[in-house]
Amino acid sequence: MGALSGRRLLRLPPSQPLFDVEQFRSEPRRLALAREVTSPTIVLGSTQRMELVAPRALRRRSVEVARRRGGGGAVYLEPAGQLWIDAWIPKDDPLWVRDVSVAAEWVGAWWTDVLAGVGLHGFDTHTGRSVPGELGDLVCFAGRGPGEVFHRGRKVVGLSQWRSRQGALFSSCAYLRWDPDPLLDLLDAGGHSRTQLGRDLMPLAVGLRELEPPVGDLDRVRDELLGSFAALGVPSSRGGDGRGVG
């Protein structure tokens, strides 16, 4: 995996934990990373309990468990199944915003701008406070959070943020195809009907390859995101604003 920080390329070792935030604290400049998993992984939000996960299902499907520092519901990741971008914004960066309810809005604008560049339109970014709805505390892609991207009411880009004295880390993820079943198979949802949960979740999100027109060149989207990151919100030499925010 690689990362773009200004004009400097930083590479992290393959053994780097997926949600190790300590690596970012000492980074003085903004940093964007395209991340990938090497095996199926369920990612729990910071407040979700381990009891939510069904141990037998984990063993049967050889799924790993990770926990992120940011809140929200569970996410299921699999190799080559999603486009996942981490972005670190230090406190002295032009993109830094103190108010957590608006701090991630630039992320939605960033994704929307890049998707428009490959011919996809009709997106909107959620603003204001989080609206988890009935299932957002269980499954990330069921709720609406600040900076998340939607297409005709269905979530395309999920987002989690973690903040420290040094800055903020924004983890954004878009599925190639949305299918809640692999995640639900791993959860012990208590009294909820597994079949009904699947029916309720299916219309709430959409994958990049399920849009009209579908995203064909995922590498281009990833490269455009990383390539445009350094200039976001930074005044140009002509005195204008940077791309993708505002």
Extents of the domains making up the chain = 2-229
235 has pLDDT over 90: no
Q: Are the CB atoms for 128 and 191 separated by under 8 Å?
A: no
Confidence band of 192 (pLDDT split at 50, 70, 90): confident
Least confident of 67-71, 204-208, 230-234: 67-71
User: Stretch 211-224: mean pLDDT, rounded?
Assistant: 94
- Between CA 232 and CA 239, with CA 235 as vertex, the angle to 5 degrees is 145
11 has pLDDT over 90: no
14 has pLDDT over 90: no
Cα distances from 142 to residues 72, 159, 161, 163, 207, in angstroms, run 10, 12, 17, 23, 13
* CATH number attached to the domain at 2-229: 3.30.930.10
